[in-house]
């Protein structure tokens, strides 16, 4: 199931309204966390468990936070999937329709989050690169080649094409394009609509592009009190995750990673589909003991966590899990999600990352 679709739909507005009541905070979080965990395991039908968890607390949320709930007024639109106030059932029906690719829902989504729904300009760029088959553009030749390799590993033919400085990966249509879509969605190595428009307009990168990137790295390095050489710019947040995962794979080939706390869904899917497996430890209350059992029974390449978690807003206790990982020389990748550098530098100590080889980059920042 796509947790991002839940967040974007506004369904979680109701949950947030409920969570402001301390007496309901843990109960709602536990119920929704358990329901979402089942859905993330691969059962689309389990999405209805989330719907039930939401609906049980909608009335409480409306009574407790009328101003927050009232912000979702109906829009003036003729779309049959228009929001109906805070009608949780209606919102969840749309999410289910999206997950099942129901034409009645998908026909009203000409654009959307770019990793999930291809922008029309991106589609057009793909057609210009290759009129035959299904083609998606990528920001570099290496990205296109990595995608083609992934598609082939999933038993479909793929080839790399290029035209006027843009690269793409071509495969068949229908089910044969599923692996192409998975690579685009989970790795985040995508071409934006602005990049696609610039390419089709014949515009190249500004001569000051390199200088701009250097200035950005210098600025970020000042925020995080590190060298600009330790700042790596990625096209998307998921691309940063993918880069970190690749470092862990080079460092510890064939070993799985462990997800600490319930994550944004693609963070876990990335580890499962592009790593050697992702072990989900979703219960923050028992996280320390759960991690200790995993580390006692097997080797892992690294750990991933979010500060705070998306969408449940829970955060792994770094002071608890950090020493366990550090004692075994296991890196911890922390996604600060919506946090600013001032929050991150107060919660994450540089010693959490201890690469075994001096040739490996110490971190991936975005």
Query: End of a domain among 74, 106, 138?
Result: 106
Residue 345's pLDDT is: 52
Q: Does the CA dihedral 256-261-267-273 come out positive or negative?
A: positive
- Helix, strand, coil share of the chain (percent; to 5): 55, 10, 35
Q: Over the chain (366 residues), what is each successive 10-residue block's mean pLDDT?
A: 36 38 46 50 46 51 46 37 43 81 85 88 95 94 96 94 94 89 94 92 79 91 89 90 95 96 90 94 94 96 90 88 95 80 48 39 36
Tokens 């428009």 locate to 197
155 in a structural domain: yes
Query: End of a domain among 56, 84, 106?
Result: 106
Residue 30's pLDDT is: 53
Q: The domain spanning residue 189 has which CATH number?
A: 3.30.70
Ramachandran angles phi, psi of 60, nearest 5°: -65, -40
Query: End of a domain among 200, 215, 234?
Result: 200
Whole-prediction pTM: 0.69
Q: At what angle do helices 318-327 and 287-297 cross, to 10 degrees?
A: 10
Number of domains in the chain: 3
* DSSP string across 112-135: --TTTS--HHHHHHHHHH-SSSEE
Q: Does the CA dihedral 132-136-141-147 come out positive or negative?
A: negative
214 in a structural domain: no
114 in a structural domain: no
Q: Does the CA dihedral 36-38-40-46 come out positive or negative?
A: negative
Q: How many residues does this entry show for the chain?
A: 366
Distance separating alpha carbons of residues 96 and 48, to the nearest angstrom = 8
Residue 68's pLDDT is: 39
Distance separating alpha carbons of residues 70 and 16, to the nearest angstrom = 13
Distance separating alpha carbons of residues 256 and 334, to the nearest angstrom = 17
Domain containing 257 equals 225-352
Tell whether 256 and 345 lie within a shared domain: yes
Tell whether 76 and 142 lie within a shared domain: no
27 in a structural domain: yes
Tokens 């978690």 locate to 309
240 in a structural domain: yes
Tell whether 345 and 254 lie within a shared domain: yes
Residue 342's pLDDT is: 54
8 Å CB contact between 74 and 85:
yes
Distance separating alpha carbons of residues 153 and 134, to the nearest angstrom = 17
Tell me the chain's radius of gyration from C-alpha atoms. 22
C-beta atoms surrounding 346 within 10 Å: 9
Tell whether 84 and 129 lie within a shared domain: no
115 in a structural domain: no
């Amino acid at each position: 199931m796509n947790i991002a679709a839940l967040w974007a739909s506004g369904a979680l507005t109701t949950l947030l309204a409920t969570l402001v009541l301390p007496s309901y905070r843990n109960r709602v979080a536990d119920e929704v966390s358990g329901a979402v965990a089942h859905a993330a395991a691969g059962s689309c039908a389990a999405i209805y468990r989330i719907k039930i968890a939401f609906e049980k607390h909608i009335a409480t949320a409306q009574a407790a936070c009328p101003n927050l709930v009232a912000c979702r007024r109906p829009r003036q639109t003729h779309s049959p999937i228009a929001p109906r106030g805070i009608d949780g059932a209606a919102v969840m029906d749309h999410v289910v329709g999206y997950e099942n690719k129901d034409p009645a829902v998908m026909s009203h989504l000409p654009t959307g989050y770019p990793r999930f729904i291809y922008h029309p300009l991106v589609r057009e760029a793909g057609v210009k690169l290759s009129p035959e088959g299904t083609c998606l553009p990528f920001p570099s030749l290496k990205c296109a080649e990595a995608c083609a390799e992934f598609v082939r590993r999933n038993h479909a033919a793929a080839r790399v094409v290029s035209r006027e400085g843009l690269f793409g990966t071509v495969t068949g249509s229908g089910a044969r394009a599923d692996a192409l879509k998975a690579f685009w969605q989970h790795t985040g190595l995508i071409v934006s609509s602005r990049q696609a428009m610039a390419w089709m307009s014949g515009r190249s990168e500004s001569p000051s592009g390199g200088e701009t990137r250097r200035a950005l790295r210098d600025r970020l390095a000042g925020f995080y009190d590190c060298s600009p050489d330790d700042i790596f710019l990625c096209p998307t947040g998921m691309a940063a995750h993918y880069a970190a995962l690749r470092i862990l794979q080079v460092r510890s080939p064939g070993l799985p990673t462990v997800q600490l706390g319930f994550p944004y869904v693609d963070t876990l899917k990335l580890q499962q589909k592009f790593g050697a497996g992702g072990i989900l430890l979703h219960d923050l209350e028992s996280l320390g003991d759960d991690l200790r059992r995993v580390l006692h029974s097997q080797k892992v390449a690294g750990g991933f966590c979010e500060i705070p978690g998306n969408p449940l807003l829970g955060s792994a206790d770094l002071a608890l899990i950090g020493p366990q990982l550090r004692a075994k020389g296991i890196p911890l990748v922390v996604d600060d999600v919506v946090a600013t550098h001032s929050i991150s530098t107060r919660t994450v100590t540089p010693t959490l990352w201890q690469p075994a080889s001096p040739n490996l980059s110490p971190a991936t920042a975005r």
